[in-house]
Amino acid sequence: MPFWLTALVTCVLDQASKELIQRLMWEGQSVPVIPHIFHLTYIRNPGAAFGLFAHRTGFFIVVTLLVVAGALVAALRLSPGRHMLRLSLGLVMGGALGNLIDRVRFGLVVDFLDFRVWPVFNLADTAIVIGAFLLVFAVWREDRERERQRVGPDAEN
């Protein structure tokens, strides 16, 4: 359940936030929330991070479908009790679906979170990055625990 719920909530929050930005702002508008630090800046990004590979919508749709399929297969194969892995995969899947919906609807992605030192991004991007970090951390932690059990509880670190 954490996987499905996380993916659903992530996707819904992403799409709702983008809808709100599109209704309340015009493209290119930037509203300071914390001046010089954090702004809401409405842009339409036809590429990936940093605007790379602009206007390759078909490519991004295929890649996103592969990511979603991979997250789904991995989540379904997880043994019980691996909550952090499920959470991380749910974040990745929900974020990927949020951006996929934009690409299918508009041929691009709506971005609006602007910290002025990084390209403008959205909640889906945030979920994907947090999910990927949690995934790496969870795998690292499980590997470390398996190694501890293999060596024995009395072994020195």
* Catalytic residue from among 102, 111, 114, 154: 111
Is-contact 60 49, C-beta < 8 A?
no
Give pLDDT tens digits for 18-31. Answer: 999 999 999 999 99
Residue with tokens 């910290």: 115
Residue 50 confidence (pLDDT) above 80? no
Residue 34 confidence (pLDDT) above 60? yes
Top-confidence residue, 128 or 151: 128
Q: Is 111 in the active site?
A: yes
What's the pLDDT score for residue 95? 97
Residue 155 confidence (pLDDT) above 60? no
CB under 8 Å to 101, separation ≥6 — which residues?
11, 15
Q: Is 125 in the active site?
A: yes
Domain extents in the chain = 1-142
What's the pLDDT score for residue 10? 98
* Catalytic residue from among 14, 102, 114, 125: 125
What's the pLDDT score for residue 140? 93
Top-confidence residue, 32 or 81: 32
Residue 134 confidence (pLDDT) above 70? yes
What's the pLDDT score for residue 35? 96
What's the pLDDT score for residue 72? 93
Joined tokens for residue 77: 């194969």
Secondary structure E strands in the chain = 30-34, 38-45, 109-114
Give pLDDT tens digits for 52-99. Answer: 677 788 888 999 999 999 999 999 999 888 899 999 999 999 999 999
Top-confidence residue, 48 or 105: 105
For the chain, state the CA radius of gyration: 18
What's the pLDDT score for residue 144? 87
What's the pLDDT score for residue 79? 87
Express as a percent the part of the chain with pLDDT over 70: 93
